[in-house]
A = this chain, B = another copy of it.
Amino acid sequence: MKKQVALGIDVGGTNTTFGFIDRDGNYLADGNILTQTHEDISDYLRELHYEIEKVTDTIREKVDIVGIGIGAPNGNFYKGTIEFAPNLRWKGVVRLCDLLKEYYPQLPIYMTNDANAAAIGEMVYGGAKGMKDFIMVTLGTGLGSGFVANGQLIYGHDGFAGELGHVIVAPNGRQCGCGRLGCLETYVSATGVKRTAYKMLARYTAPSILRTIPFNDMTAKIVADAALKGDQIAIDIFKYTGKMLGEALANAVTYTSPEAIFLFGGLTKAGDLLFKPTHDHMEMNMLKIFANKVKLLPSQLDKNAAIYGSAALVWNELKV
């Protein structure tokens, strides 16, 4: 009997990766193309389809594809569109699901944004298995999030719910790419860590390895490495980042009262440097009825997480 698999596609700013994953999380085959080669979405999809078919050929006799899941920046679950994604060449509203449907008319196709896909990935394959209420926070260049309540992802009225990165945490605070001031992701993200580094270097006089590095070369990883070597400014940068995240999570808990909050992405590699101050400040600011109830956990998705998340979207929808 053929094995049922979902095709997960992750549309990233640079690469588009895809893979075939079964219900139990077994990873069968994958491939990728460059996202930015084609200005025309039709050319992009023609190449993507060609690559997918090539990979499918290697496993076609063993598998039965049950659906396609896509994670994409500003991906809209209800409409199957990518809308005004700042990091993609395709401008305005792109009807990605409809266009892909022309190649795969017989398959259900689902799309959402990358953080929501990660949340569903965590629920289907990761640490949130069996949980009905949790929050997924993805820490990359920006801060994304997915909220699950009553066992369902919260898409909201328009399909764009769960933008924790754009909660304003500091009125008149740091300038954000969204055009406003003081959004959480200007403090808590790889970019936020970098901005905090320069703020700290400006404010304090302590010597630091970081003083030798120009703004454009600074990364969150450099800060983490310095902190692990005992650099006090670098340690304080993570303390500040954790404070901002912890305070924001304490507020987030009052909305959906989750069982757990998962942190995912490059920044979480800093480990306790990030988790400890985040947890401390979350509990310090928690409303009493929620105190010491909410687990703060690292995501259990790792390699190919974006593809797992996208594929999980299919299993999650077919289950309903």
List residues 124-162 of chain A with CB under 8 A from any CB of chain B: 132-133, 147, 149-150, 152, 154-162
Selected interface stretch from A20-28, A217-225, A244-252: A244-252
Selected interface stretch from A5-13, A59-67, A204-212, A287-295: A287-295
The answer on a CB contact under 8 Å between B171 and A156 is no
The answer on a CB contact under 8 Å between B150 and A257 is no
With A149-B156, A150-B150, A150-B152 known to touch, is A254 a contact of B166 (CB < 8 Å)?
Answer: yes
Copies in the complex: 2
The answer on a CB contact under 8 Å between A156 and B133 is yes
- Which residues of the other chain, B, contact A149 by a CB distance below 8 angstroms? 149-150, 152, 154, 156, 161
The answer on a CB contact under 8 Å between A180 and B257 is no
A105 at the interface (CB under 8 A from B): no
* The residue from B154, B247, B294 contacting A171, defined by CB atoms under 8 A apart: B247
The answer on a CB contact under 8 Å between A179 and B256 is no
The answer on a CB contact under 8 Å between A161 and B247 is no
With A150-B150, A180-B287 known to touch, is A259 a contact of B164 (CB < 8 Å)?
Answer: no
The answer on a CB contact under 8 Å between B288 and A164 is no
With A163-B254, A168-B250 known to touch, is A157 a contact of B259 (CB < 8 Å)?
Answer: yes
* The residue from B154, B247, B251 contacting A150, defined by CB atoms under 8 A apart: B154
Residues of A in contact with B, size category: 35 or more
In the complex, A285 Cα to B132 Cα: how many Å?
A: 31
A213: min CB distance to chain B, Å: 31
In the complex, A164 Cα to B253 Cα: how many Å?
A: 10
A30 at the interface (CB under 8 A from B): no
The answer on a CB contact under 8 Å between B147 and A179 is no
In the complex, A147 Cα to B290 Cα: how many Å?
A: 17
The answer on a CB contact under 8 Å between B179 and A257 is no
- Which residues of the other chain, B, contact A133 by a CB distance below 8 angstroms? 156-157, 161
- Which residues of the other chain, B, contact A285 by a CB distance below 8 angstroms? 168, 180
List residues 254-288 of chain A with CB under 8 A from any CB of chain B: 254-259, 285, 287-288
With A149-B154, A152-B150, A154-B150 known to touch, is A160 a contact of B256 (CB < 8 Å)?
Answer: no
In the complex, A7 Cα to B117 Cα: how many Å?
A: 42
In the complex, A256 Cα to B149 Cα: how many Å?
A: 10
10 A-B pairs with least C-beta separation: A156-B257, A161-B257, A157-B259, A163-B254, A133-B157, A149-B154, A166-B287, A167-B251, A150-B152, A255-B255
**Residues in chain A within 8 A of chain B (CB atoms):** 74, 83-84, 132-133, 147, 149-150, 152, 154-164, 166-168, 171, 178-180, 247, 250-252, 254-259, 285, 287-290, 293-294
4 other contacts beyond A84-B289, A133-B157, A162-B255, with CB at 8 A cut-off?
A: A154-B257, A155-B257, A160-B289, A166-B287
A-B pairs with beta carbons under 8 Å apart, 8 shown: A149-B161, A150-B150, A150-B155, A154-B154, A163-B254, A163-B255, A164-B254, A168-B285
